[in-house]
């Protein structure tokens, strides 16, 4: 059975979101530099998407590679100049144990599976491929803020189509679900992300053998709290 993310992150996704914010990517990478996460060594951007973070990481002293499951997104990343790209599932990384100095998972590219055991598998793989003392950064949504500020519906025009986005919390409270309708084309797509709280993530990190050093709430390095826009966990193996 095809997972939602296998269907969604393709040509339609790129057409709807052609220019994710490159300035935002620069802010994230600058923060990682200040934290000492990025430096000489081998770094992988896990679920790198169309490569905006890879572009921001270029020329900062590290040997950087991107890994993603989506061929259309990897092709776009290649077109932006990214050189080291691998197509793979984040639950089974084609990387030798202890090979990396840092792993980055940015812009809510986590929490896509129905079963939390699959999320735990991802973290176990991250821990496996890191060198002792290597860093892992997870840039995730802030679940309390999402619940408090969820916009149920919006729409915009894209060419000849109207794009309608509908958002809801699943009946069991475990997921935020977004349905994207392209009126006039008869197409609909779904995004579903697990609403993992900070305590959930810290517990999962510990189970994978990752030690959380700090938790930040935004891309300027501010403290994390219930109203923070992000939940950024910085950990080491």
Q: Rounded to whole angstroms, how far apart are CA atoms 101 and 78?
A: 23
The number of beta carbons lying within 10 Å of the beta carbon of residue 25 is 20
User: Quick one: pLDDT at residue 68?
Assistant: 98
Spatial CB neighbours of 79, under 8 Å, sequence gap ≥ 6: none
User: Quick one: pLDDT at residue 219?
Assistant: 96
| H or E stretch at 4 | helix 4-8
| H or E stretch at 153 | strand 153-158
CA triple 102-67-32, angle to 5 deg? 35
List the chain pLDDT tens, one digit each, 237 residues: 679 999 899 988 888 877 678 899 999 999 999 999 998 999 999 999 999 999 999 989 999 999 999 999 999 999 999 999 999 999 999 999 999 999 999 999 999 999 999 999 999 999 999 999 999 999 999 999 999 999 999 998 887 889 999 999 999 999 999 999 988 778 899 999 999 999 999 999 999 999 999 999 999 999 999 999 999 999 999
User: Quick one: pLDDT at residue 186?
Assistant: 80
Q: Could you tell me the pTM of the whole model?
A: 0.95
* C-alpha closest to that of 140 among 108, 100, 179: 108
User: Quick one: pLDDT at residue 1?
Assistant: 63
Q: Rounded to whole angstroms, how far apart are CA atoms 187 and 208?
A: 39
Q: Rounded to whole angstroms, how far apart are CA atoms 188 and 164?
A: 9
User: Quick one: pLDDT at residue 19?
Assistant: 65
Q: Rounded to whole angstroms, how far apart are CA atoms 120 and 118?
A: 5
The tally of CA atoms less than 13 A away on the side-chain side of residue 10 is 8
Alpha helices in 155-197 (DSSP H): none
Q: Which residues pair with 179 in a beta bridge?
A: 166, 190
């Amino acid at each position: 059975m095809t997972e939602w993310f296998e269907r969604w992150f393709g040509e339609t996704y790129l057409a709807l979101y052609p220019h994710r914010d490159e300035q935002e990517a620069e802010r994230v990478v600058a923060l990682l530099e200040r934290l000492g996460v990025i430096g000489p060594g081998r770094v992988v951007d896990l679920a790198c998407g169309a490569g905006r973070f890879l572009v921001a990481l270029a020329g900062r002293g590290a040997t950087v590679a991107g890994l993603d499951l989506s061929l259309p997104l990897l092709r776009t990343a290649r077109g932006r100049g990214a050189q080291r790209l691998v197509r793979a599932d984040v639950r089974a990384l084609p990387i030798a144990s202890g090979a990396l100095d840092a792993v980055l998972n940015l812009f809510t590219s986590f929490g896509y599976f129905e079963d939390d055991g699959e999320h735990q598998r991802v973290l176990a793989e991250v821990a496996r491929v890191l060198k002792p003392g290597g860093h892992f950064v997870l840039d995730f949504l802030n679940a309390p803020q999402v619940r408090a500020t969820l916009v149920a519906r919006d729409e915009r025009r894209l060419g000849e189509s109207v794009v309608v986005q509908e958002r809801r919390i699943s009946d069991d409270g475990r997921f935020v679900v977004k349905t994207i309708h392209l009126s006039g084309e008869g197409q609909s797509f779904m995004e579903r992300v697990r609403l993992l709280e900070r305590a959930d993530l810290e517990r999962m990190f510990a189970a994978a053998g990752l030690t959380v050093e700090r938790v930040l709430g935004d891309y300027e390095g501010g403290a994390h709290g219930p109203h923070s826009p992000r939940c950024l966990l910085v950990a080491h193996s």
